[in-house]
Chain A
Amino acid sequence: MIELAYSRATDAADAIRRAEGGNAKYLGGGTNLVDLMRETVEVPSALVDVTGLSAEIGETDDGGLMIGAAARNTAVAEHPAVRARYPMLTRAIVAGASAQIRNMATVGGNLLQRTRCTYFYDTDGSRCNKRSPGEGCDAIEGFNRIHAILGTSPHCVATHPSDMCVALAALDAIVHLRGASGERTIALTDLYRLPEDHPDIETVLESGELITAVELPPSELAAHSTYRKVRDRASYAFALVSVAAALELDGDSVADVRLALGGVAPKPWRAWRAEEALRGSPATEESFLEAAEAELAEARPLAGNAFKVDLARRTLAAVLQTLTEGARR
């Protein structure tokens, strides 16, 4: 780590002022950024601590929830309104990392965590277009069991590692931003860019722009939701495949559905095609599998991760089956 300046912001406007000029980074819980600095993947000259900004979780006027970006992961997961009205979000958060890390990590930081691609971390030994644009990618021909099958490019196959964001993508979460030119909101699904020919640019955030809150719109559907994560060990591992799903039945058919996939793409992957295929379809395993196939039709597996296509297909169908059985009880 190189020497750096540290300061603590008192509010969002103060944070933005402090981050102006130079190569400053906003610091939340540090669970990803401190590690990346130690590995010299990130080399900021200044850190602006934003953990003192709003961590409040409160009701919105239209019956949703507003979550301050400094809220810790544990605080979101244990909040009674999240547990009751957005259970997939609690399930997703407690499926991620360890309790110690969830106690530290903030919501804003979770949204902006970097990929866990091992080649991205290997500054001395590997080429990486995300770390050093134009250098090449050693993952595409390398050990790519953990890498993406959807939304990849010839330049990058890294996945977004978050569990929480997969649920947020399915919940139509809105990200509140503040920058030098003012405030704006953006759908979480639009926050992230696919790698294309610039895998180093991961979001649509402008320079110095700060995430101040994440808003959950009201959703009756979300009360009937869950999250399933498939990983190499029972706990404390990143997802090979994960599914966030909410389902509402009308008799024996699907009235409405929200679906997102984790562990398979460079961003939290909202499964729009599968949702479209399912609305009005019979709530049967057959149509769940067909919908998953529609979503995965454009999957481009690598030598080491072809198993993810079938795993994602079956996990998606299994989660929908579980929700269907739950709705009929």
Chain B
Amino acid sequence: MPIIINGREEPVPADARVSLLDFVREQLELFGTKKGCNQGACGACTVLVDGERILSCLALAVQYDGREVTTIEGLASGGALHPLQQAFIDHDGFQCGYCTPGQICSAVGMAEEVARGVPSHVTVELDAMEIALDHDELRERMSGNLCRCGAHNGIVDAIAEVYAGAGA
């Protein structure tokens, strides 16, 4: 089965060692997804697989045949930016921009987890099925994405604007 990247079917690499990250960057030349640490510590390589956020550096591409992968290039529709992309611009949610594609893909996946009621480390009541994405929840849930420029405040503001209202 092919692997579906941003709606396009692509043949799975023959070499089992190729990570999903190297596959999209080096074979498909989709350079939006970034290689930061390449060991699962920074989140720069975050992509969505069937709507769930994962780390493409720790994923072997062969494991993902038949799955739908969305990278940062697949979030905008036509010429219109995804609302979160616009919010990152509006709130200065980056300086160098290297972590940004991972931050944005991660936040899209996070919003889906919150809507589903997935608890986090800071969720007080585990039986609560509705989770308010307040300041602590947002920061905890985005803790897998590091920004070494120090743009975290802008990143949090951008995500809060789109997914949490003004409360976070």
Contacts and interface: CB of A to CB of B under 8 A. Distances in A.
Nearest to A39: B39
B6 interface: no
A34 B43 contact: no
Given A4-B16, A30-B58, A83-B126, A38 B39 contact: yes
B16 A6 contact: yes
B34 interface: no
A234 B121 CA distance: 10
Interface in A42-89: 47, 49, 51, 74, 77-78, 83-84, 87
Interface string B9-37: 00000011101000000000000000000
A101 B55 contact: yes
A84 B109 CA distance: 25
B17 A94 contact: no
B43 A30 contact: no
B117 A100 contact: no
A207 interface: no
Contacts of B15: 3
Interface in B116-136: 116-121, 123, 126-127
B53 A77 contact: no
Interface of B: 15-17, 19, 38-40, 43, 46, 52-55, 58-60, 62-63, 106, 109-110, 113, 116-121, 123, 126-127, 139-141, 143-145
Interface string A229-240: 000001110000
A103 interface: yes
A258 B43 CA distance: 35
Contact of A99 (B16, B110, B126, B127): B110
Interface of A: 1, 3-6, 27, 29-31, 34-35, 37-38, 47, 49, 51, 74, 77-78, 83-84, 87, 90-91, 94-95, 97-101, 103-104, 234-236
Given A38-B39, A95-B121, A100-B53, A90 B126 contact: yes
- Residue among A38, A90, A100 with max Cβ neighbours from chain B (10 Å): A100
A51 B63 contact: yes
A94 B118 CA distance: 9
Nearest to B16: A6
B19 A84 contact: no
22 contacts: A6-B60, A6-B62, A29-B58, A35-B58, A38-B38, A74-B52, A74-B118, A77-B119, A78-B118, A78-B119, A90-B126, A91-B121, A98-B55, A98-B143, A98-B144, A99-B53, A100-B53, A100-B55, A101-B55, A104-B55, A234-B143, A235-B140
B63 A100 contact: no
Given A30-B60, A31-B40, A90-B126, A103 B119 contact: no
Nearest to A51: B63
Given A3-B17, A31-B40, A100 B144 contact: yes
B119 A100 contact: no
A275 to B, nearest CB: 24
Contacts of B119: 77-78, 83, 90, 94
- Residue among A47, A87, A95, A99 with max Cβ neighbours from chain B (10 Å): A99
Contacts of A37: 17
A27 B64 CA distance: 13
B19 A34 contact: yes
A223 to B, nearest CB: 11
Contacts of B123: 94
Contact of B17 (A4, A90, A101): A4
A236 B37 CA distance: 15
B63 A49 contact: yes
Contacts of B38: 38
A273 B126 CA distance: 30
Given A6-B16, A87-B126, A35 B53 contact: no
Contacts of A5: 16
A99 B55 contact: no
A103 B52 CA distance: 7
B116 A30 contact: no
Contact of B54 (A91, A94, A103): A103
A94 to B, nearest CB: 5
Given A35-B39, A236-B143, A99 B60 contact: no
Closest 3 CB pairs of A and B: A98-B144, A6-B16, A235-B143
